[in-house]
């Protein structure tokens, strides 16, 4: 059974499930198993299927923080990736793009007026 079938991360689609890093010359992979409330103990928040998966593959679960929302700007993504790797995609929702573009145009107009 695949992890995504046991515990999908619908509200965290911008977060990459696997984090690869080098520690003391060795490659270390960390995998997001499930979403947990910060007040839950480690085992309490794990679904039964996730708990079984962790035991089967002898994983060592730990808690970490990830970005709650997708970045709107590349600079935001850089900051988010300091916690955990994320994906950056321009919004495909026309409403969001329109609002963002209007905000940029308004900001640009305001800066021009104040500069002159």
Domain boundaries in the chain? 3-115
**How would you write 63-106 as a 3-class SS string?**
CCCCCCCCCCCHHHHHHHCCCCCECCCCCCCHHHHHHHHHHHHH
Burial class from Cβ neighbours inside 10 Å (0-12, 13-18, 19+) for residue 30 reads middle
The C-alpha angle with vertex 13 and arms to 6 and 31, in degrees rounded to 5, equals 55
Of 23-27, 32-36, 78-82, 89-93, the range with the lowest mean pLDDT is 89-93
**16-22: long-range contacts (C-beta < 8 A, 24 or more apart)?**
16/84, 16/85, 16/86, 16/87, 19/84, 19/85
| pLDDT cut 90: percent of the chain above it | 18
Distance CA 53, CA 55 (A): 5
Say what the pTM is: 0.63
Distance CA 65, CA 61 (A): 13
User: Which tens digit of pLDDT belongs to each residue from 3-45?
Assistant: 888 888 888 888 999 999 898 999 999 988 887 776 676 666 6
């Amino acid at each position: 059974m695949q992890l995504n079938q046991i515990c999908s991360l619908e509200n965290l689609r911008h977060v990459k499930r696997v984090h690869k890093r080098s520690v003391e010359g060795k490659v270390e992979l960390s995998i997001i198993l499930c979403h947990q409330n910060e007040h839950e103990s480690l085992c309490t928040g794990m679904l039964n299927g996730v708990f079984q998966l962790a035991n089967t593959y002898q994983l060592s679960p730990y808690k970490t923080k990830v970005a709650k929302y997708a970045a709107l700007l590349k600079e935001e993504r850089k900051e988010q990736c300091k916690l955990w790797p994320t994906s950056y995609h321009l919004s495909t929702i026309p409403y969001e793009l329109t609002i963002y573009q209007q905000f940029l145009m308004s900001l640009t107009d305001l800066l021009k007026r104040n500069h002159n």
